[in-house]
Amino acid sequence: MPTPRPTYDLVIAANRLPVDKVVGDDGEVEWRRSPGGLVTAMESVMRSQPGAWVGWAGDAGEAPEPFDEDGIHLHPVPLSAEEVRDYYEGFSNDTLWPIYHDVIVPATFHREWWSSYQAVNQRFAEAVAEVAAEGATVWVQDYQLQLVPTLLRKLRPDVRIGWFNHIPFPPVELFAQLPWRAQLLEGLLGADFLGFQRQADARNFVRACRQLLGAQTKRDRVTVEGSRRQVRAAAIPISVDFQGLEELAKRPDVMARAREIRASLGDPEVLMLGVDRLDYTKGIRHRLKAYEELLSERRIGPPEVTLVQVATPSRERVDAYRLLRGEIEQTVGRINGELGKIGAPAVHYLHHSYPREEMAALFQAADVMLVTPLRDGMNLVAKEYVTCRHDLGGALVLSEFTGAWHELHQAFACNPHDIEGLKQTILRAINTPAKDKQRIMKALRRRVSDHDVQRWAARYLAALAAAPELPQPEPRN
Ligand code: GDG
């Protein structure tokens, strides 16, 4: 008889596994843990309770066999090249992503993409059902897997199911555009507990259920039609590994690198920094426009002031991202061409991704961190910046349209659509006296250290465990 596969009391399902494939010179395949808040948080949770992670390994075609890595059982789900195109780049990133981010660019609707999304969600649900132990806790992540809760409940009514949305949940007026809006809501209502970044996101979800499904709702609860089950929707904002990142930022080599970065930029009086995935939600164009105007009005200028913009490559096969990259690179070229000086460009634009050490050094080198999204579920960069500023230096300019702003009120708040206002805020962030900035930074750091990613995971799992409903016995006649 074949030995039965092991099963786990805690199962995470996310689009990606937390590892990247590395092929050595000898052709040997190795898996390297991809750094990220979710993995770090899970490590702390899985130390006390062994767990499994179900997700795509990153290459189209056949999936590798399940394997264990650093105490986590990894269970790869295969995606074909067509599914990467239709489920991932298509439905997830070109249908849902724009709708969930205020339609900054128009959403694209294709019925084939939806079919692919359904098929992949079914496959994830089956994979989870296979590895989950009797009565396990299953934590589904993000907008790519919104049908999994109900599909899984059908396969495994014994498990407890949570879902967390890393991105915003849109107002019903925007969500209603989706031709598959009812199926998405019904997919989510298979969960016991739904977690969101902001209270407004949770409220948007509850309102969508009321208006689009005619569901009964009361405060943060939705009653599922045809059963007596209640689903709770509430805000549990994500965070960063404060302790781990602060330790990294305190390393002498990282601090030396921060000084080296400043020196190689000509030791400017004010170094401004932007770090984003190259995404239209991040407000990079608005930031560059404000900066360009400040330069052309001669209110600031190189070499005294300079801007480093790291734009990490992202979703390069989706049209809107290709277009955005072209626009940003043209703008950077124009700003440098018109307003830069020999040896002192106005913008240092970097379209790469960097190791964590380099990011921590950049954060420490920057006097002003520009976080100006038009819409962002949380924005971890804002929290990482303050975590790295153990010297209490620096100033955070933060858009009101990020989840982070709801926790980091002391930051220099901005509305990135208001270019004049954004310019004023940047100038304020530069000119506020150092001791006031230190006081602000201290308060920001306290918030993040008290609410780190480990606490986020613990709070989420406690809320899931306490979710209102274990299936209630039917009343007897
Ligand atoms: C989604 C939501 C929510 C970036 N470039 C490099 C690099 N990064 C790291 C950052 C940060 C992460 O990537 C980006 O996280 P964000 O939160 O800023 O944004 P999204 O990627 O859009 O994430 C967002 C998040 O999920 C979590 O729930 O906050 O709202 O959209 O950690 O530091 N890291 C390294 N090199 C780079 O070049 N090492």
Counting ligand 1 atoms within 8 A of each CB, the residue from 350, 380, 384, 398 with the most, and so the one to mutate, is: 380
Give the residue whose CA is nearest to atom 6 of ligand 1: 353
Q: What integer is the mean pLDDT of 65-78?
A: 93
Confidence grade of residue 43 (pLDDT, cut at 50, 70, 90): confident
| pTM attached to this predicted model | 0.95
Does the pLDDT at position 474 exceed 60?
no
ipTM of the complex: 0.99
Q: Is 188:162 a contact under the CB 8 Å cutoff? A: no
CA of 309 to the centre of ligand 1 (A): 15
Tokens of 230: 């209640």
Q: Name the nearest CA neighbour of 335 among 324, 348, 351, 352.
A: 348
Tokens of 432: 């506020």
Least confident of 16-20, 163-167, 203-207, 253-257: 16-20
CA of 36 to the centre of ligand 1 (A): 8
Q: Name the nearest CA neighbour of 222 among 235, 205, 237.
A: 205
CA of 468 to the centre of ligand 1 (A): 32
Report the distance separating Cα 331 and Cα 339, nearest Å.
Answer: 12
CA of 275 to the centre of ligand 1 (A): 9
Confidence grade of residue 36 (pLDDT, cut at 50, 70, 90): low
Confidence grade of residue 263 (pLDDT, cut at 50, 70, 90): very high
Counting ligand 1 atoms within 8 A of each CB, the residue from 378, 384, 388 with the most, and so the one to mutate, is: 378
Q: Name the nearest CA neighbour of 182 among 164, 208, 163.
A: 208
Write down the mean pLDDT value for the chain. Answer: 94
Q: Which residues pair with 75 in a beta bridge?
A: 54
Give the residue whose CA is nearest to atom 21 of ligand 1: 277
DSSP assignment of 164-229 equals: E-SS----HHHHTT-TTHHHHHHHHTTSSEEEESSHHHHHHHHHHHHHHH--EEETTEEEPTTS--
Confidence grade of residue 46 (pLDDT, cut at 50, 70, 90): confident
CA of 271 to the centre of ligand 1 (A): 21
**307-337 burial by CB neighbour count: b if 16+ within 10 A, else e?**
bbbbbeebbeebebbeebbeebeebbeebbe
Q: Name the nearest CA neighbour of 372 among 448, 285, 445, 441.
A: 285
Cα dihedral: 276, 280, 283, 285 (round 10): 100
DSSP assignment of 225-279 equals: TTS--EEEEEE------HHHHHHHHHSHHHHHHHHHHHHHTT--SEEEEEEEES-
The phi and psi torsions of 115 (rounded to 5 degrees) equal -60, -40
Does the pLDDT at position 4 exceed 90?
no
The residues lining ligand 1, judged by C-beta closer than 6 Å to any ligand atom, are: 166-167, 238, 275, 277, 310, 312, 353-356, 359, 376-381, 384
Does the pLDDT at position 34 exceed 90?
no
